[in-house]
Structure 1
Amino acid sequence: MTGTILFDPLLPWPVLAVLAVVVAGGVLLAVMRGLNGWALRGAAGLVILAALSGPAFQEEDRAPLSDIVILAEDQSASQRLRDRPDQTASAADAIEASLSAREGTEVRRITVPDGDEDTGTRLMTALSDALAEEPRARIAGLIAISDGQVHDADLPFDLPAPMHLLLTGKETDWDRRLLVKNAPAFAIIGEPVTLTLRIEDSGAAPVDNGTAPLDISVDGAEPQRFNVRIGEDIDLPVTLPHGGRNVIQFTVPEAEGELTDRNNTALIQINGVRDRLRVLLVSGEPHAGGRTWRNLLKSDSSVDLVHFTILRPPEKQDGVPVGELSLIAFPTRELFLEKIDDFDLIIFDRYKRRGILPSLYLDNVARYIRDGGAVLVAAGPDFASADSLYRSPLGAVMPAEPSARVLEEAYRPTVSEIGNRHPVTTEMPGAGDWGRWLRQVDVAARDDSVVVMEGVDNRPLLILERVEEGRVALLASDHAWLWNRGYEGGGPQLELLRRLAHWMMKEPELEEEALTAIATGQSMRIQRRTLSDSVPPVTVTDPNGTTTELTLNEVAPGQFETRFDGPEIGLYRLENGEQSAVIGLGPAAPKEFEATIATADILEERVESTRGGVLRIEEGTPRIRTVREGRPAAGRGWIGITPRGAYETQDVRQMALLPPWLVLLMAAGLITGAWLREGRR
C-alpha cells in the first residue's frame, strides 16, 4: 500500500502561473499602501490557486512481481564437441535450480540452435527475441552457457541487466583446421589457377615438427598426399582436367588429441570453361551458304576462326602468272600436319577431293578425331560424287555412307524420335514451324551413329557419332543457310550450330548420357539425361559410406530427376548404370567449425558493458548473488543478478485534498477577515 499526491489542474499550468503573478502583484500593492489585511488577502489567493491546481491523494494497492533471469544454452554444432554437451546440461540444470530456489525469481531457459543457411551461432539474436517477450523492468540478469564462438555479437540492442558468460570446453583444448583462402568459381580448362590454402593450429596445440600431411583428390579419385608447413599460406597451382564442374577435395588427416576433424576437409567446386573456341573452316568452293557459315562463327566473340575458301584449285589453268595472283596459298602442311591439334573444331563446308589435301593429311585428320578432336561436315552434292570426302581416309570415321543420290526437292527438316531426347536437338526453338530446305544428299546412317534430324521421306539429315575419343557430325545438306536468310520463316541455324559445337567439345550440358547433381545447401537435385526410355535407380553414397537407392522420375523426354537431402556436409558419390558423378554438399568450410576453441574475446565487450563476468565451467558452477544496480556483478566463483523491484498495481483510490466546499469556506473567511481588519482601522 503506497500513497502519493497528484495534481490535476482545472486550468493549464501557464494560466495558473499568470494568475499567481496577478495575486503576488496584488499582495505587493497592498503592502506598499500599508493595508493591514494584505496577508489574509494573499492567503485567500493561495487557497484559490491551490484549488485550481486540483491536488489529490492517490493510494495504490501494489503486488510485487518476481524478477526474471534469462538462461541461454548454446546448442550449436561447435557445442557438441567432446564433453561440452554434458558441461552445458549440468551447468544449466545447476544454475536453474539455484535461481528457482531464490524467492521472487523466475528462470526463462532458452536454447540457441545452429543458424539457418550456415550463419553460425545466433546467440544475441536469441537473447533479443527472449527480451522482446518479457517486460524489461523485470529482467534481473542474463546468463549464457556457450563456447563464446558467437557470430552475431555486434547485433545492436541494449541489455537491461548484467550479462554473464559461462565458458564450456577446457583450457587444454586444441584444434587443427584447413582454410581455403582463395578459390575461384570458374577457371579456364588447360590453364593453371592458383588456390591458396593454409593449415592452422589453435588453442593449446602440441609442439611438433611444424608440418602436416595434406591429401588432394579430384572428382573422387585416389588422393595424393603432400607434407606442408603449418601456419603458412600455400599457393597451389591446379589445372582443371575437363569442362563443367570439377570437385576438388583437400583433407588434413585427424591429429591425435585435436578437438574435431570436421574442419580438416574442404570441398572446392570449380567450373571449367573454355577460353576460346578455335575453329578451322574449310570451304571447298564459293557458294551461297559459305559467307553464312563465316558470319555465324564470327558473330560469337568466344570463337577464334580461321577460314579458307578454295577459289583456284590446282587443276585450273588460266595462264595467269602466280606472282600476279592476289590469292593466299592454302597452308595445307602447316594446318593439317603441324597445327591440327591446336583446333577445337574443324568444319568441312562442301569440300571435295581435288588434290589439295593429300591422303596423308586426311589420314591425320582421322587420327585427330580418334584422339579427341571434332569434325563437322556440311555436305553438298559433291559428297555423293566420286570426289567425296567419304572416298578418302575420313570415310572410316564418317557416321553415314552416301548412296550417290542427291535429292533436289523441297522438304521441312524435322527432329527425329531419338532427336527429341538428344540435347543437341531437344526443345529447339520453333520446332515444327521451320522454313524448308531444297536439297539433301541421300545417306545411310551407320549402326552406331545417332540420327537426330530427318529430311525427305524421313531420310537421315543430321547424324552424330562418337569415334573413340573424338566426335563427328554430318549435315547431309548445304541449305542450312536458308534458315539464316529467313526463307519461309527461317530457323534456328545459330542455335543448332552452337549446340553442335558444344556437343563436339564435350561440354557437360550437351552430353546425351550424363548424370549430374545441383546442390542447394544440404539438398541436391539429381538429373539423369539419356537416350533410353528408362533408367535404373541411382545409388547415392554419403561421406560415411552409407548407400541409398533413389528412383528417378521422367520429367521430359530423355530427362529423369529426383531430390535427395544429405544427412551431413561432405562429398557424395552418385552412380547410375555406367554413369557416375561426385558432388559436395554444404559450404567449403562450415561456419560453426571455422573456430572451435572456447573464447571470451568475442563477447567480452558486451559482458563488460553490463558489469557482468566470464567464468569457466571447468572451474565449477558459480554461485548466485544479489547485487545493487550499477555495482560489479561478478567475481571469483560467483555471478550476480540485480533485483528490479517490479510490481503490479491491483487497486487505485483517489481523494481530493481541497474539496469545493472547503475552498469556498476558506477563501470566504480569509477575504472577510481581511475586509474587517481593514475596516476597523
Structure 2
Amino acid sequence: MMERLTHHIGFAPLVPAWLLGALGLVALAVCGLGLLRGSRVAALFRLGAAAVVLFWLAGPQRLRESWRLLPQTALLLVDQSPSMTLGQRSAIARQAADILAHSQTPGLTIRTVSVQDNGHDGTRLFEALDQAAADIPPALFAGAMMITDGQNADTPTSIPERLNPSDGAQGHTTLPLHILLAAKGEERDRRLRILQAPPYALAGQDATLRVQVDDAGPGTQPGTAAELTIRTSDGTQHTVPVRTGAEQSITVPVTRPGQMLVSLAVSPLEGEVSGLNNQTVLSMTGIRDRLRVLLISGTPNQGERVWRRLLKADPAVDLIHFTILRPPEKDDGTPLSDLALIAFPVRELFQDKINQFDLIILDGFENRHILPRTYLENIAGFVRKGGGLLLTAGPEFIGPGSLQNTPVGDILPAHVAPEGSMMEQRFRPTLTEAGRRHPVTASLPGAPPAGHAPDTALNMPGMWGPWYRALRPDSTHGEVLMNGPEGAPLLVLDHVDLGRVALLLSDQIWLWSRGEGGGGPQAELLRRVSHWLMKEPELEEEQLVASLADGTLTVTRHSLAASAENTVTVVSPSGKNEVLTLRPTGPDGTPQASMPATEDGIWQVTDGVRTAYCAPGQNNAAEFSQLRATAGNLADMARQTGGGVFWLGESGSVHVPAIRSGAHTPPHGADWMAFGQGGGHVVTGRAAAPLLPAWLAMVVALALILAGWWQESRRRMGTTL
C-alpha cells in the first residue's frame, strides 16, 4: 500500500521537567514583583524573554512521520453442514468461495473458514465466527461474510462482540456481516414434527401420538390439506388426513410385546426443496399390562419365600399364590379356619379363569387328589394354547402323586423313573453348550467355564454355590440348558404347540438366595425363565437381528443350531428386494452380513420364518428439521451490522457480489459489498527538526530583555524630570 506522511509538533526537553517547572515559577514571581513596583511594561517584556527561554528549554520539534496502513482481514465462513448437500447448494458455495478467495481487493485479506457439522445441535456459524476472529487484532478485523443456506442454530439477538468492537478502530463501532445465500431465492418446504410419542405402550391397545405438519416459504398458508401415511414394523399401514399448522392426534395399534418401529410420512408439498423432513421413524416398546402369574406351592418349603419375593418385586406382575397345607384325604380335626383364610378355589382357577393367566408355576406340587383329571387336562390345554408352565421338581415328583403320571406329564420335557433317580450329593450346576448360547442362561454371572466336568467345577473357587439334591431323568426332549450331578439334565425348556414349558429337576435353587457356598444368580435365572415362558422377544433362542448405522445394514442370526451359511431377503423402504448371504463370523461363528443402506424409512429382513426391522437413526435432528434456503434467520443480523444479503443464484451461473474497501465506503450496494478501512498501520520513518533554533531563541530573548531595560530607563528619566 502507498505510504502516507504526517506532520505534528513534539517536545524533547533539554532539562528535567521539574527544573523546567521551577524556572517557570521563578519567572512568574519576578514578573509579579515587577508589576508591584509599577514597571508593568518592562515586567511583561522580561516575562516574555523568560517564556522564550523556557520554550526553547522544552525542546520544541517539528516531527515528520511516514507510515503504511496494514491490510485488513475479512472472514469468509463457508457452511458445509449436511443441509448444504441438498440440491446444488454445495456446488454454489464452492464456486462462490473460490471467486471470493481469489479476489484482489487492495488493503483487504480474505481468510476462509469451513464450518462443519457438529453432529448434535445444528449449524453454528456465529460460534465459528467467534473462534476464527479470536486471533485477529481488533484494529485489523474488517468484518465477515457467510456463504450458507440460511439455516443457522446460534444466531444471537444482539450484535456479537467480534462485530461490535469497543475501541472503534474503524471510526465506527460495528463491522459489517454480509450474508450470501446458496440459492436463487426463498424456497418452500414441508416438515413433519413429532410433538409427543410414548416410548412404551400396552400390547393389544392403541398408542396415541401428537404430530404437526408445517409449510413454510412463498405461497404457503396454514390449514392446507395433506395426508399422513403410517407404517409399522408388523406390516400394518393406514393413511389419515391432516391439516398444516395445527396439532393432531393419531393412533397406532401395538399388536405385540417388544420393540416396534413406526414410520410416518406426510405427502409432499409441490415445489418443496426436499422430502427428508417429511418423514420420520419412531421406536416404541410394547409391554404387557400386568402379567398374571398363578403360583401353586406344595407343602411349605424353603423355596416358597424365594418365589414370592421375586414375583412380588416385579411391578408388572400380578401374583396369585396358594400353598397346599393339607391334602383333602387327610383329616386331623384341625378347623379349616386355622388352615386358610379362604377355601382353595379349584374350579375358579383351573377352569373358569385359567386362560386369564400368562404363567402357571407349580413349585413342589404333589397331586394327592387335589386336582381332578379334568383340571389337569385344562392345565395341559392352557399350555398348548399359548400359556407358560414352570415346574420345579423335588422328591414329590417321583411319588404317588407325581404330575408326570397325569395329563400334565404329556407336556413335560423330561420323564423321571420312580426308582433310583434321586441323587443326593453335593454338586454345582453347570451350563451345557446350548445353555451358553441360549438367551435364558447365556452370560449368567459366575457360571463355571466351558470344558470343565461337574466334579472339576465343584472345586473351583468363585463359581456358583452348590446344591445337594436333584433328579436324574431317563428321557428328555427340548433344550437342556443346565446339567446337575454326573452331567444329568437339570434345567430343560421346551415348546409345546403354541405354549412353553420349563422343568427344573431340583427343589434347591433357594440355596443360592441364602448365599450357600457363595450363592448364585437365582433371581436373574428365574426372571429369565419366567419371561421366556411369557415369550419375551429378547429371550427368544432363534433371533434375526437387523441394525442400521452410518449407512450400513448389518444382519445377525442368533441360533442354538450350529452356525452355517444361509440367506435372508432384505426389503428396502421403497420395496426393492435383495438377497443377502450370512456367513459365520467371530470366535463363536455367529452368522452375519452387511450391505449399504441409504434409503430413509423402515428396512425389513426375513428368512421366511422370522422377520426383523430397523431404521436409520437421525444423528442431527436440528440440522434436518428446517431445510429450505431462507434469509429470514440472518437478514436482521446483517441489517444491524450494516451488511447486505445476496442470493447467489444457480450452479454454473453464480452471481457473486464484488468486494470494495475504503474508509468512507458505504457497507453494501445492489451487487457489491464493502469493508471499512481500519486504523492499523506500521511507521516506516520519522524525522525531527528544532522548531526554535538556539540562536533565534537567544536573539528574541535578548531583544525582549533590551526592550524591557529601555522601557525601564524611560520610566526613570521621566520620573527625574
TM-score (norm 2): 0.79
1:464 to 493, 496, 507: 493
| Matched residue, 2:152 | 150
Partners of 1:96 and 1:107 within 8 A in 2: yes
SS class of match (1:640)? strand
Q: 1:497 to 1:555 in 2, by over 3 A?
A: farther
Question: Does 1:397 find its partner at 2:411?
Answer: yes
What does residue range 336-485 of structure 1 map to in structure 2 within 5 Å? 336-404=350-418, 405-432=421-448, 433-447=463-477, 449-485=478-514
| Matched residue, 1:234 | 248
User: How many residues align structurally?
Assistant: 667
Q: Structure 2: which 5+ runs fail to align?
A: 35-42, 164-173, 449-462, 714-721
Give the drift of 1:319. Answer: 3.2
Q: Deviations for 1:540-599, whole angstroms, at most 9, x for unmatched residues? A: 665464858576665565766777775464433345685432112122984344223332
Residue type of the partner of 2:162?
A: D
Q: 1:87 to 1:312 in 2, by over 3 A?
A: same
Give the drift of 1:473. Answer: 0.8
Give the drift of 1:261. Answer: 1.9
Separation in structure 2 between the aligned mates of residue 594 and residue 410 of structure 1, nearest angstrom: 64
2:614 to 583, 586, 600: 583
Give the drift of 1:484. Answer: 1.8
| Matched residue, 2:538 | 509
| Matched residue, 1:266 | 280
Separation in structure 2 between the aligned mates of residue 338 and residue 663 of structure 1, nearest angstrom: 130
Q: 1:296 to 1:640 in 2, by over 3 A?
A: closer
2:633 to 571, 592, 602: 602
What does residue range 102-121 of structure 1 map to in structure 2 within 5 Å? 103=106, 107-108=110-111, 111-113=114-116, 115-121=117-123
Separation in structure 2 between the aligned mates of residue 74 and residue 326 of structure 1, nearest angstrom: 77
Partners of 1:247 and 1:582 within 8 A in 2: yes
Partners of 2:142 and 2:678 within 8 A in 1: no
Separation in structure 1 between the aligned mates of residue 555 and residue 495 of structure 2, nearest angstrom: 26
Answer with 502-511 or 104-113: which moved more: 104-113
Answer with 25-34 or 363-372: which moved more: 363-372
| Matched residue, 2:25 | 25
1:200 to 214, 222, 228: 214
Give the drift of 1:424. Answer: 1.8
Q: 1:142 to 1:541 in 2, by over 3 A?
A: farther
Partners of 1:215 and 1:225 within 8 A in 2: yes
Give the drift of 1:30. Answer: 1.0
Question: Does 1:644 find its partner at 2:677?
Answer: yes
SS class of match (1:317)? coil
Partners of 1:536 and 1:576 within 8 A in 2: no
| Matched residue, 2:668 | 634
Separation in structure 2 between the aligned mates of residue 420 and residue 517 of structure 1, nearest angstrom: 22
Q: Structure 1: which 5+ runs fail to align?
A: none
Q: 1:221 to 1:577 in 2, by over 3 A?
A: closer
Separation in structure 2 between the aligned mates of residue 93 and residue 490 of structure 1, nearest angstrom: 71
Partners of 1:263 and 1:590 within 8 A in 2: no
Give the drift of 1:282. Answer: 0.6
Separation in structure 2 between the aligned mates of residue 318 and residue 250 of structure 1, nearest angstrom: 69
Partners of 1:406 and 1:439 within 8 A in 2: yes
What does residue range 293-372 of structure 1 map to in structure 2 within 5 Å? 293-322=307-336, 326-372=340-386
RMSD of aligned Cα (Å): 4.2
Structure of higher CA gyration radius: 2
Give the drift of 1:438. Answer: 1.8
Residue type of the partner of 1:468?
A: D
Q: 1:338 to 1:639 in 2, by over 3 A?
A: farther
Separation in structure 2 between the aligned mates of residue 20 and residue 338 of structure 1, nearest angstrom: 120
Partners of 2:197 and 2:209 within 8 A in 1: yes
What does residue range 46-61 of structure 1 map to in structure 2 within 5 Å? 46-48=55-57, 50-51=58-59, 57=63, 59-60=65-66
Percent identity between matched residues is 36
TM-score (norm 1): 0.83
Give the drift of 1:214. Answer: 2.2
What does residue range 133-144 of structure 1 map to in structure 2 within 5 Å? 137-138=139-140, 140=142, 142-144=144-146
| Matched residue, 1:500 | 529
Q: Deviations for 1:387-442, whole angstroms, at most 9, x for unmatched residues? A: 22222222222111222222223322111122111222223222232222221122
Separation in structure 2 between the aligned mates of residue 10 and residue 314 of structure 1, nearest angstrom: 127
Give the drift of 1:521. Answer: 6.3
Give the drift of 1:29. Answer: 1.2
| Matched residue, 1:184 | 198
SS class of match (1:634)? coil
Answer with 102-111 or 499-508: which moved more: 102-111
Separation in structure 1 between the aligned mates of residue 435 and residue 67 of structure 2, nearest angstrom: 87
Separation in structure 2 between the aligned mates of residue 367 and residue 664 of structure 1, nearest angstrom: 132
Give the drift of 1:458. Answer: 0.6
SS class of match (1:292)? helix
Separation in structure 1 between the aligned mates of residue 63 and residue 135 of structure 2, nearest angstrom: 35
Give the drift of 1:627. Answer: 7.4
